[in-house]
Structure 1
Amino acid sequence: MSLDNVRLSQPAKDQLIRLKRITGIKNWNTLCRWALALSLRDPSPPLVRDINTDSSVEMTWKTFAGSYGDIYLALLKHQCLADGREPTEENLSHILTVHVHRGIGHLAGRRDLKSVADLISLAAL
């Protein structure tokens, strides 16, 4: 695994397609950023499992993080250290993958999410 490319599983892709339709957000990376932030905000650890990143959704780190790459990287490093892991590239990639997938699952599971405004209101909770 590497931070150079962010890949998603087929179930995550299917959930993102639904989220794109509901929110009107057109880009995978924008929804994945929201998902990461939502998951990192949750203090409980994600259910660690092997995630098969078998979908056709793949983006570079630069596309995923945009101009906020340093901030996202700092958040991932902080999470690694909080989890008692060294912030190696492999561990950072793993943290990114599990948190993005958990966040996508949380977003997709919300029945009250009907628009971008609802997504923004989640940030205020």
Structure 2
Amino acid sequence: METPIERIRLSQTAKDQLIKLKRLTKIDQWNILCRWALCRSLAEPTPPSPIAIPQDSNVEMTWRVFGGEISEMLLLALKQRCYNDGLTIDKETLATQLRLHLHRGISYLSGDPNIKKIEDLIELATKN
């Protein structure tokens, strides 16, 4: 399956938020936290706000590293979400929506006062 983006570069704000999440959850890899963040945003009923996101940090990863073994599932979930939101699923739209969802999810996770350890992420994912 063709990837929507070759390299993902995060904003400095997202990097700072991920550093906080790494400290709280003890999850050391950026890509794993980013997968959690993408899924957190995709689970929201509303689409992310279409804002410009700077790519001004030194945190960068390839799609392959980002998605790992579940990259195809993540891409399918993103495509389904675009379809549900009435968007096209061309490469540019997918890349834009990936960045928007990823950054929104990082913000949501980092701002959640209930996330203090890795078990809190698991509880968040399994409730309802």
- Quickly name the TM-score band, shorter chain normalised: over 0.9
Instruction: Return the match for 1:87 from 86, 89, 114.
Output: 89
Q: How does 1:66-105 map to 2 (within 5 A)?
A: 66-105=68-107
How many residues of Structure 1 are paired with residues of Structure 2 in the alignment?
124
Deviations 1:34-63 (A, max 9, x none): 000010000111122011111111100000
Instruction: Return the match for 1:123 from 112, 122, 125.
Output: 125
TM (normalized to structure 1)? 0.95
Q: Distance in 2 between matches of 1:107 and 1:37?
A: 11
Q: Residue 47 of structure 2 aligns to which amino acid in structure 1?
A: P
Deviation at 1:78, TM superposition (A): 0.8
Q: Distance in 2 between matches of 1:70 and 1:15?
A: 26
Q: Distance in 2 between matches of 1:118 and 1:79?
A: 25
Q: Distance in 2 between matches of 1:4 and 1:115?
A: 31
Instruction: Return the match for 1:45 from 44, 47, 55.
Output: 47
Deviation at 1:81, TM superposition (A): 1.2
Q: Distance in 2 between matches of 1:33 and 1:12?
A: 13
Instruction: Return the match for 2:33 from 15, 31, 34.
Output: 31
Q: Percent identity?
A: 48
Q: Give structure 2 stretches of 5+ with no counterpart.
A: none
Aligned-residue CA RMSD in angstroms?
0.9
Q: Distance in 1 between matches of 2:20 and 2:37?
A: 14
Q: Distance in 2 between matches of 1:30 and 1:36?
A: 10
Spell out structure 1 runs of 4+ moving beyond 2 A: none
Q: Distance in 1 between matches of 2:72 and 2:49?
A: 26
